[in-house]
Amino acid sequence: MLTVVVSIDTEEDNWSPTRDGVTVRNIDRLPAIEADLRALGVRSTYFVNYQVAADPRAAAVIQWLADGGAEIGTHVHPWNTPPIEEPLVPRLTMLKNLDPALQRAKIETVTAVLERLLGRRPTAFRAGRWGIGPEAIAALIDLGYEVDSSVVPFTDWREMDDGPCFYDAPSYAYRVDGGADVCEHRPDGALIELPVSAGFTRHPFDRWHQFSMLARRSPLRRFRLLGLASAVDLFRRVVMNPELSSVADMLLLAQRLRERGQAFLHLMFHSTTLHPGFHPEYATEADVSALRDRILDTVAGIAGMGDVEFATVTEAARRYAPARDGEELVTASAASA
């Protein structure tokens, strides 16, 4: 049985970090995509940030989604989540780069707003811009969260405002704690990491991962080896995100992950891209319609592979996380494939 997870970063219209002129009009688009996803059997997870949860009109949509069975998780954009004590500079848009006490305070803010809205505490978290670090993990554990979903394996955000590096992250569910790198499985970790699915179009992943890292290093990067490898169809790195990847590549990644013994697939996208004009690559209704088709075609294609079920982020994490007593990872065999 393959479990399929679909999560949506549910956030303001402003794609670039800002504290001025923040709007949340894209949230009005969520009921339509949710209806389409439900028709395919999806049980969505919406990671909701402060700007959305604090807006009465947007909050009503979030309540509607929750009432319909969607999971509502916590999403933190540090730059416009109270308390705001830091300057608005690129490096500090990554949660991990803030003072640990401020990281926790911002997580507490969104947690409290969502708890008031839903009548219960959220159990899943995702950092804005993927900017998770050990201090935030420690705060999440202390606040009673079960799951983080901020990791994208084989991905390095260090050149983007000193973000995290996930090159060595597992692609399966694993445990983390606040005392180690977020890519490291900790058998006694109290928090489950459920990564977004990413990988390569060819086996073995380890070989192409090493090639990718080598190709990105100076002076080899000037030869643009990754672009050449993709052009001749040698291999491509694919993230299960329809904003970045084609339907064909995502379905091929799904096939490759299943061949590796992967027990779940995790697709994500952003609410902002569902409204024209809020993201530079989705300027028109035609652009948004094409994205919507990619989302639904990918989900339908995966469902057509057979022996598939859908789950929320927390449900999948509970199902596939290793026990805390140090037993073998449920999908540990995939790590050596």
Task: Kindly report the CATH number assigned to the domain that includes residue 37.
Answer: 3.20.20.370
Residues 31, 163, single domain; the answer is yes
Residues 72, 137, single domain; the answer is yes
pLDDT-wise least confident of 63-67, 75-79, 230-234, 240-244:
230-234
Q: Which of 318, 98, 261, 222 is nearest to 109 (CA)?
A: 98
Q: Could you tell me if residue 335 is inside a domain?
A: no
Summarised one tens digit per residue, pLDDT across range 134-154 is 999 999 999 999 999 999 999
Summarised one tens digit per residue, pLDDT across range 184-214 is 999 999 999 999 999 988 555 565 455 455 4
Predicted local confidence at residue 222, as pLDDT: 47
- Give the total number of structural domains in the chain: 2
Which domain, by its residues, includes 47?
2-198+239-326
Q: Could you tell me if residue 337 is inside a domain?
A: no
Mean pLDDT of the chain: 90
Residues 231, 245, single domain; the answer is no
Name every residue whose Cβ is closer than 8 Å to that of residue 332 and which is 6 or more positions away in sequence. 172, 322
The residue-averaged pLDDT of 151-163 equals 94
Which of helix, strand or coil describes residue 19? coil
Give how far Cα 159 sits from Cα of 165, 170, 223, Å.
Answer: 9, 21, 19
Cα torsion at 315, 320, 322, 328 (round to 10°)?
170
Residues 122, 56, single domain; the answer is yes
Residues 37, 144, single domain; the answer is yes
Over 50: is that where the pLDDT of 226 sits? no
Looking at per-residue pLDDT, the higher value among 329 and 17 belongs to 17
Look up residue 88 and give its two tokens: 């608005």
Query: Cα–Cα distance between 294 and 285 in angstroms, integer?
Result: 14
Over 90: is that where the pLDDT of 286 sits? yes
Looking at per-residue pLDDT, the higher value among 202 and 59 belongs to 59
Predicted local confidence at residue 231, as pLDDT: 47
Residues 193, 218, single domain; the answer is no
Q: Could you tell me if residue 226 is inside a domain?
A: yes
Residue 237 confidence class, pLDDT cut points 50, 70, 90: confident
